[in-house]
Chain A
Amino acid sequence: MSEAPALVKCLIWDLDNTLWRGTLLEDSDVALPDEIRRTITELDARGILQSVASKNDHDHAWQRLEALGIADYFVLPQIGWHPKSRSVAEIAEQMNFALSAIAFIDDQPAERAEVAYHHPQVRCYDAARAADLTGLPEFSPAVVTVDAARRRDMYRAGFRRTAERESFTGPDEEFLRSLDLVMEIKRADEADLSRVEELTLRTSQMNATGVYYSDADLRALIADPGHDVLTVTLTDRFGPHGAVGVLLLGYHEPVWHLKLLATSCRVVSFGAGSVLLNWLTDAAAGAGVHLAADFRQTDRNRMMEIAYRFAGFTGDACDCLDGLPDTGSDRTGIEFRHLVAGPRPAPTTMRIAAPVLGPAGARP
């Protein structure tokens, strides 16, 4: 007989598509399945502490946990945009637990890998196993004392909850390289349209204009030889991340007009937006054209403004902008961000597969 595995003292939950169904940034009404609620209360009754490591807006996510009536079960929640390996280390350190006493559950293989890469002692579980955890020996203490359920209150008394919005660890290039990321950019076909429409609806933080393009708009643009609708998918060694971005490009003689750039919040930490702007700039340089991007400031897309500015786009005037269509009221609040494109080096963290850009008649 092998020995029973060491007990888990603290289970750290991912939120989106692990604890609750859905992605909070895309759907504020994410639901908590009954079996997850049962798992949380049962682990708590057994004296196993629980915490959260989630990439989300802290206040938004915490309010949702409170609304679901389960916020009190979690101590030292780490909700922010830093790598989860750091959240896990932070929780372990503040609880004064060895990493080998920590378990982590997340639906994303890349997130589990990121934690395992930095902390091989942490036991990682796929979200699909959430409802089964209470049946595993490592979550089943031989003796459950009546004090067990009070344990979290004891721990909590000693903790100061820290909002993690401000703390962030810079990109870990070494880890990103280990993921074998491949970005594929392709011309959208009819089958992609619903996903494109959905992305334009749901990407409030990483959408340059907040303009909504309907299915009919997109169909017309796909058929127009002077336009391209491009979809972006990302894959790593664990499998696909699916459709993560969309670009809408209008071709004019001296300038390519980027009418829309939106990327999913799921791939923000991979630098997907900057990689796309970098690639597009290089392609425009190759074609000898300027770039003009539509930008409309919203209260949620400052990250996008910074991405454009850091990529070299400015608000400066240029003759090339005069020839771009001005459709009046449709463009309310939309400004141009302009760039004289120059060649850019390929990204070091991912490979890009993409078509040659240009109006339909001019493609090689």
Chain B
Amino acid sequence: MTAANPHADGPAIEKELTVFLAGRTGSEPTPDQDLFTTGVITSMFALQLVVHLEDEYDIEIVGPELSMDHFRSVRTMTALVQRLTPAGRDA
């Protein structure tokens, strides 16, 4: 693919996720802020996070990839997206 993928680079992903989370939680997280420190991780919120990443970045997150550590912060989610995005699309 030759078209530039707006989701290919880390800063763009971080920015999109920060906006997404700010809209959902009412406050803007810093890239390394632990989203799950409060102990209120509802399964619904987790599901919505997973589905958002899958739809927005056209990836599948299954099995061991569903570890909470991958969803802990904007930074870790960005790394997950970059890892699961097929290399060909980034070119």
Query: Does A269 lie within 8 Å of B44, measured CB to CB?
Result: yes
Query: Does B40 lie within 8 Å of A309, measured CB to CB?
Result: no
Please count how many residues in chain A sit with their CB below 8 Å of the partner chain's CB atoms. Answer: 33
Nearest chain-B residue to A177 (Cβ)?
Answer: B40
Query: Does B43 lie within 8 Å of A303, measured CB to CB?
Result: yes
**Among candidates A176, A303, A304, A311, residue contacting B40 with C-beta atoms closer than 8 Å:** A176
Residues of chain A within 8 A (CB-CB) of B46 are 274, 303, 306-307, 310
Query: Does B24 lie within 8 Å of A347, measured CB to CB?
Result: no
Q: How far is the CA of A101 from the CA of B42 in the complex (A)?
A: 33
B39 part of interface (Cβ distance < 8 Å)? yes
Query: Does B48 lie within 8 Å of A168, measured CB to CB?
Result: yes
B32 part of interface (Cβ distance < 8 Å)? no
Mask of B15-48 contacts with A, CB within 8 angstroms, 1/0 = 0000001001110000000000011111111111
Q: How far is the CA of A278 from the CA of B71 in the complex (A)?
A: 18
Nearest chain-B residue to A80 (Cβ)?
Answer: B48
Residues of chain B within 8 A (CB-CB) of A273 are 42-43
- Interface size of B as a range: 20 to 34
Q: How far is the CA of A169 from the CA of B23 in the complex (A)?
A: 7
With contacts A168-B24, A168-B48, A170-B24 known, is A310 near B42, CB below 8 A? Answer: no
Mask of A159-197 contacts with B, CB within 8 angstroms, 1/0 = 000000011111101001000000000000000000000
Query: Does B39 lie within 8 Å of A349, measured CB to CB?
Result: yes
**Among candidates B40, B52, B63, residue contacting A171 with C-beta atoms closer than 8 Å:** B40
B67 part of interface (Cβ distance < 8 Å)? yes
Query: Does B45 lie within 8 Å of A270, measured CB to CB?
Result: no
| Residues of B bordering A, CB below 8 Å | 21, 24-26, 38-48, 50-52, 55, 63-64, 66-68, 71
